[in-house]
Amino acid sequence: MIDDPVVLSRLLTFVTLAFHIVMATIGVGLPIFISIAELVGIKKKDPHYILLARRWTRGYTILVAVGVVTGTIIGFQLSLLWPSFMQAAGHVISLPLFMETFAFFFEAIFLGIYLYTWERFKNPIYHWLLSIPIIIGSSASAFFITSVNAFMNTPQGFDLAEGTIMNVQPLVAMFNPAMPSKVSHVLTTAYLTGAFLLAAIAAFHILRGKTHIYYKKALHLAMIGCFVFSIATIINGDIGGKFLAVYQPEKLAAAEWHFETEDRATLLLGGILDPDEQEVKFGIRIPYALSILAFNRPTAEVIGLNDFPEELWPPLYIHYFFNLMITIGMFLAAVAFAYLVFYYFNRFNSLNKWLLRAIIICAPLSILSIEFGWIMTEAGRQPWILRGYLTVAEAATTSEHVFEMLLLFSSLYLALAILLPIILIRLFKKKTVESEIENQNIIL
Amino acid sequence: MIETIGISILWVFLYGYLIIGSIDFGAGFYSYYAKVTNKKHTIRQVIDRYLSPVWEVTNVFLVFFMIGLVGFFPASAFYFGTALLVPGSIALVLLAIRGSFYAFANYGARESNVYLFLYGITGLLIPAALSTVLTISEGGFITVDDSNVQLLLGELFVSPYSWIVVMLAIVSVLFISASFLTYYANVAKDKDAFELMRKFSLIWGGPTIFLSFLVFLTLSTHNPEHFQAMVEEGWLFVLSLLAFLAAILCIYKRKFMGIAFLLVCFQYGFAFFGYGYTHLPYILYPHITIYENVTSPEMGISLILAFLAGLLLLVPSLFLLMRLFIFNAEYARGR
């Protein structure tokens, strides 16, 4: 195993993406809240919101810097580890890859400007306007890169004749069936994760006894975002399930341990599988729910795994990742809903200790959920790298040095993972909110 | 047609990376130099004010070139991808260290000598690592059998051509960035920084020309075909030399610093485009040419259209960035 370039390439890609996905998600998720906070601050003439935007931006910048770095790595690693795949992808799906670099370019330029122009404009609304290209750029990056990933799941827009790719239609390839559900899911979950991170920071300070109104404003703003985007996530998560049922039934079936094609299909939560007998122990079964999830009709027929040759089955462990992702998603929505109920029906209780603790827990949970969802969708595409055309095993590099590279990159990510929180904590401890508010009152 | 437009776009972007990347890499090195020699208050301020807003943009040029190469000439992904796993990964790790430690040092709470050292030293190692890709593209370092591509690392290590290119890359980084920082210090009216960077420009200028000659010499044995093509387009390299001489004259006389930097850009422009033009039709000697390995017309046209649309977006944005920071005397002076 240690000298199998296919396994090692998968591992290295896993390590890189598992790390990058956190940075990328935060990079897409935060700008929208920074922008909202600044706008609220300008409209209400409330310096607390401006400070909020400034402090969020500081943390965001460091995370984006690391995200740029890991994003550059994965951009190159795709060619280094999966040369045959990138050759094929270059022919058919390079358009969105190309446009992604433009989107990122756009974002990087305006982030640079935004960071260093807080006090350069007489009318603060000009500075706020600079945040719009950052939102557009980061979300467009997510859009383009997700459309490439969607293409790997539902490739189209070309013909394959005797090993040659012909009749390429770049836009058809880009706007493939998996694209809408995937893009909307990636975007809303990124915003949701961003919101919960910001909410958790505020909740943490309040729980630690900070009483300044600044923290309550921060918490409330972020929690509204949590609520909106958790609802959106549930809706497009449901759309994603329906997409799978039609276009990638084997992935849904593997995620649900659904072996026999049947109508009135049962949704399974948890459980332990006996793969030989295809029997499940200890699972929770919800009648009709899988048919509803897949087609919105309790009597709909859902295709089972046994309709596919076994060598094309995705790994069955994705069931757990699928379940965990959904459970966390539901929990996030419940916490956001509870906060709003507490806030609007009994103002004091929205700062209830247990609620604050739940909000804090939600931040790491939302990131875990991103990781789980990503594992589910990538592992669920196995054995294909381009579903129906190219397998992962065919696409990997033949180089003998992948193991050394795996060690090299793993140590890099480990170092970054240790340093990043230390730097962030140090940064924010050096300039506390209270001291900054004091200093700001002189300026404003 | 598509292959010509495609390779031109890519080469322009690589040239862009050469210039702004060199400024960035070299500035990192000078920043570290200023730190260890305790010149913090002159040169480092100038460097920080230039670098802080634009460093991320630099990185994008490189990614853009790579993605564009895969898009326009997909086979290059296969050849370079397989061959370059080790050197490519090392360059990536260096880039990663540099990028993240810059952010840590600059936005983080504490100035750390370790961060600055890493930032400075990677500024020289990265160009060295990246320049070997150009060396490899000259052929002779890759074997292909049964679609199995392998890099001959041993050959690369003992090749004089390869080492001279590496040295040229490092010296160029120091020269380009010194000449830019001379100009920028002048705009910022920072006399100490100006004198220091002027001195560095004059020191590193000569070696860039000397090593360029050596590159010519060693290429004549390593890749005679390419060498012959370069001799035929020799006027481009003469223009490059003239631009260099004029630039050095300006810097020496302490006059027209902006023009001097532009002349340095021309020096590298003529040489770089001369090198690239004569390298054609090969992307990788002798395996990939722009004619045989270009993408389909459908994809090629859509990439070119996307590129034009992207330019419409980027040019005004870059213009704004430059107006606000680089060519803004008030900002450069730290107000």
Domain boundaries, chain A: 5-261+303-439, 262-302
Q: Residues of chain A whose pLDDT is less than 70?
A: 1-2, 347-350, 440-444
Partner residue opposite B299 with nearest CB, options A95, A99, A108: A95
Q: What would the CATH number be for the domain defined by A5-261+303-439?
A: 1.20.1630.10
Angular region, B38: left φ>0, alpha ψ -120 to 50, beta rest: left
pLDDT for residue A442 = 39
- Confidence at residue B335, expressed as pLDDT on a 0 to 100 scale: 53
Low-confidence winner among A356-365, B53-62, B81-90 (lowest mean pLDDT):
B53-62
Residue contact B67–A409, C-beta within 8 A: no
What is each CA distance from B8 to A177, B16, B268, in whole angstroms?
A: 34, 12, 16
Q: How far apart are CA A157 and CA A318, in angstroms?
A: 29
Per DSSP, the three-state class of A399 is: coil
CB contact under 8 A, B103 and A66: yes
Cβ-Cβ contacts under 8 Å, B80 against chain A:
79
A116 close to B (CB below 8 A): yes
Segment A281-326, tens digit of pLDDT: 787 888 887 888 888 888 888 888 888 888 888 888 898 899 899 9
Chain A with chain B: Cβ pairs closer than 8 A: 221
pLDDT digits (tens, 9 = 90+) for B148-166: 788 888 888 888 888 999 9
For the record, the structure tokens of B223 come out as 């890749």
Cβ distance B100 to A69 less than 8 Å, yes or no, reads: yes
- Is B299's CB within 8 Å of A91's CB? yes
Q: Is A62 on the interface with B (CB under 8 A)?
A: yes
Contact A168 B298 (CB under 8 A): yes
* Interface mutation vs chain B, best among A23, A70, A76, A104, most B CBs within 10 Å: A76
The two tokens of residue B274 are 């001369």
Report the candidate in B306, B52, B309, B53 with the shortest Cα–Cα distance to residue A130.
B53
* Amino acid A347: pLDDT: 62
Which of B57, B62, B104, B327 is the mutation pick for testing A, counting most A CBs within 10 A? B104
User: φ and ψ at A379, to 5 degrees?
Assistant: -65, -30
Note which residues in 349-408 of chain A have CB less than 8 A from chain B: 397-399, 401-402, 404-405, 408
Q: Which of B10, B13, B60 to mutate to test the interface with A (most CBs of A within 10 A)?
A: B60
- Convert the pLDDT of each residue in A189-204 to its tens digit: 999 999 999 999 999 9
Q: Tokens at residue A330, please?
A: 């539901």
Disruptive mutation site among B20, B24, B114, B317 for chain A (greatest number of A CBs within 10 Å): B317
What is the per-residue pLDDT for A371? 94
The b/e string for A237-254 (b: 16+ C-beta within 10 A; e otherwise) is beebbbbbbebbbbbbbb
Work out the mean pLDDT of chain B and round it to a whole number: 83
Q: Taking the CA of residue A194 as centre, how many other CA atoms within 13 Å lie in the half-sphere pointing to its CB?
A: 33
Interface check A88 vs B, CB under 8 A? yes
Mean pLDDT calculated for residue range B85-95 = 88
Longest dimension (CA), chain B: 62
> DSSP string spanning A37-77?
HHHHHHHHT-HHHHHHHHHHHHHHHHHHHHHHHHHHHHHHH
Segment holding A349, helix H or strand E: none
Q: Which chain B residues contact residue A144 at CB under 8 A? A: none
Considering only CB atoms, B77 lies closest to which of A86, A111, A120, namely A86
Mean pLDDT for B92-101 is: 86
- Confidence at residue A148, expressed as pLDDT on a 0 to 100 scale: 92
The owner of tokens 């993972």 is A417
* Contact with chain B for residue A79, Cβ under 8 A: yes
β-bridge mates for residue A254, sequence order: none
Chain A neighbours among B 54-113 (CB < 8 Å)? 54, 56-57, 59-60, 62-64, 66-68, 70-71, 73-75, 77-82, 84-86, 88-90, 92-93, 95-97, 99-100, 102-104, 107-110
Q: What is the pLDDT of residues B164-185, one digit of tens each?
A: 999 999 999 999 999 998 888 8
Average pLDDT over residues B272-282: 86
pLDDT at A184: 93
Q: What is the ipTM of this complex?
A: 0.84
A251 CA: distance to closest CA in chain B (Å): 29
- Chain B residues in contact with A70 by the CB 8 A cut-off are 96
